[in-house]
């Protein structure tokens, strides 16, 4: 994983530096990192590892809490300093086309994990080792992780990065995503207190 390009990025939340990471400089879908201005990477850094969700992040789908989590994380990182890792692992790493197929299966009664399995994929095929590689390349030694996902914590705990604190990132459920959030809690073991 190599740093391919970086630039200043003014946003609605504030100023960030954005960096593209991939193995190949011609990759059209690199992983992205946003670093809030005045973040000291030599200290413990607030970090959000966010997997791409086009439907939630871009189109504000109510089928999930992804877009609202992303917005809340960027706001927190701007206000408190930190780094957002945006990993290109759409649909728990099945891609947008298969994710739309999974939506149709969910509309027939399967949950998000069952739908992925029905399509021949793991319930969650994401690889958070990529996040560890990027954090190490940035020289980050210790983090506060914005997450509800125990798997992300496991990847950090099995790495050279020291986990200091977990910062919960809970979004209030809506009727359209309540079943999705129940699956996150009951199948994947996410730390969700408001479900």
Q: Please report, in range form, the residues annotated as the binding site for Zn(2+).
A: 53, 64, 66
Alpha-carbon span 79 to 165, nearest angstrom = 17
Please give the distance of CA 93 from its chain centroid, rounded to a whole number: 11
Residue ranges of the binding site: 48-53, 64, 66, 69, 90-92, 112, 147, 152
Strand order in the sheet with 31-36: 2-10, 15-22, 31-36, 83-87, 45-51, 142-146, 162-167
Q: Which of 107, 126, 127, 166 is catalytic?
A: 126
Is 124 among the residues known to form the active site? Answer: yes
Residue ranges of the binding site for GTP: 48-52, 69, 90-92, 112, 147, 152
Between 150-157 and 129-137, two packed helices, what is the crossing angle to 10 degrees? 50
Give bridge partners of residue 145 from the DSSP assignment: 47, 166
Q: Which of 57, 63, 65, 124 is catalytic?
A: 124
CB count within 10 Å of CB 189 equals 12
What are the C-alpha distances in Å from 16 to residues 7, 35, 38, 139? 9, 5, 9, 18
Alpha-carbon span 190 to 48, nearest angstrom = 15
Is 166 among the residues known to form the active site? Answer: no
Nearest to 85 by CA among 122, 46, 43: 46
Nearest to 179 by CA among 89, 90, 115: 115
For the annotated catalytic residues, the residue numbers are 124, 126
């Amino acid at each position: 994983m190599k740093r391919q390009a970086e630039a200043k990025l003014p946003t609605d939340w504030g100023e960030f530096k954005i960096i593209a990471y991939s193995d190949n400089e011609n990759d059209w879908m690199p992983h992205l990192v946003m670093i809030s201005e005045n973040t000291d990477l030599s200290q413990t850094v607030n970090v959000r590892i966010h997997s791409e969700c086009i439907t939630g992040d871009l189109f504000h789908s109510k089928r999930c809490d992804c877009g609202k989590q992303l917005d809340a994380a960027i706001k927190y990182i701007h206000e408190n300093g930190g780094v957002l890792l945006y990993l290109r692992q759409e649909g728990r790493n099945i891609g947008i086309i298969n994710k739309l197929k999974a939506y149709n299966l969910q509309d027939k009664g399967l949950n998000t994990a069952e739908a992925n399995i029905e399509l021949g994929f793991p319930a969650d095929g994401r690889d958070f080792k990529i996040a560890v590689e990027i954090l190490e390349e940035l020289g980050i030694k210790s983090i506060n992780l914005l997450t509800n996902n125990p798997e992300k914590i496991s990847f950090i705990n099995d790495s050279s990065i020291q986990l200091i604190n977990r910062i919960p990132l809970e979004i209030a459920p809506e009727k359209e995503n309540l079943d999705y959030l129940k699956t996150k809690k009951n199948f994947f073991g996410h730390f969700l207190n408001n479900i």
